[in-house]
């Protein structure tokens, strides 16, 4: 019961922050970017292989320092999208950390449609912040050292999958915003896949 109350309070707070961000009352600075990359499946955590990109933002909310991490995923080979958000208030006396993963929050995730996720705080934050962050020097600088694949032993099937090829193309062409759009819009993703 207490856990559900805490989760509800976290959802309310994330929704308030998303609203303030959308309305331009809360300005976030993009301070770090992990470029589009391929992660092989993880046997320990049972995570499937995916293509992802991660952004880290900072803002002062109520005079206190906050960090917001956004990680956008497309699973390979399923093509399912996911979004992870971590909001941290870095203050000793008022420390707080909220983790939200779209696939966990959504019920039922398997039948998710773009319309069913549009109103979720994590999605609203990503759609407000990523287009702005994609134009920053932080993102441009990260692409200067980016490697799409940093692991070995990945199966040929995964390496040759069209989604993997798309991720590699978007990474090499420094197209963070196109990857963001491909996460949320399957029609747009199909259009990009047709160009490979």
Per the DSSP assignment, residues forming a β-bridge with 64 are 61
Q: Residues of the chain whose pLDDT is less than 70?
A: 43-46, 106-116
* pLDDT for position 46: 66
Q: Give the CA distances from residue 75 to residues 40, 83, 92, 166, in Å, rounded to whole numbers and listed in that order.
A: 10, 11, 37, 12
* pLDDT for position 4: 84
Q: How confident is the model over 163-184, as pLDDT tens digits?
A: 999 999 999 999 999 999 999 9
* pLDDT for position 107: 58
pTM of full prediction above 0.85? yes
Per the DSSP assignment, residues forming a β-bridge with 71 are 54, 84
* pLDDT for position 149: 93
Q: What is the C-alpha separation between 95 and 37, in angstroms, rounded?
A: 31
Strand, coil or helix: what is 97?
Answer: strand
CB neighbour list of residue 51: distance below 8 Å, 6 or more residues apart: 36, 37, 38, 39, 73, 74, 76, 163, 164, 166, 167, 179
């Amino acid at each position: 019961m207490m856990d559900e109350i805490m989760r509800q309070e976290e959802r309310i707070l994330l929704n308030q922050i998303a609203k303030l961000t959308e309305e331009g009352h809360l300005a976030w600075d993009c301070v770090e970017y992990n470029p589009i990359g391929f992660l092989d499946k993880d046997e320990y955590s049972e995570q499937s292989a995916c293509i992802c990109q991660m952004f880290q933002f900072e803002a002062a909310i109520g005079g206190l320092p906050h960090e917001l991490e956004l990680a956008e995923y497309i699973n390979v080979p399923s093509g399912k999208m996911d979004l992870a958000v971590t909001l941290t208030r870095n203050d000793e006396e008022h420390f707080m950390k909220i983790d939200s993963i779209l696939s966990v929050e959504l019920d039922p995730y398997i039948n998710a449609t773009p319309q069913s996720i549009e109103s979720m705080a994590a999605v609203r934050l990503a759609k407000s912040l990523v287009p702005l962050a994609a134009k920053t020097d932080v993102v441009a600088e990260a692409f200067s050292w980016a490697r799409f694949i940093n692991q070995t032993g990945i199966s040929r099937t995964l390496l040759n999958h069209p989604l993997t090829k798309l991720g590699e193309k978007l990474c090499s062409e420094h197209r963070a915003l196109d990857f963001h759009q491909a996460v949320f819009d399957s029609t747009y993703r199909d259009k990009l896949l047709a160009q490979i």
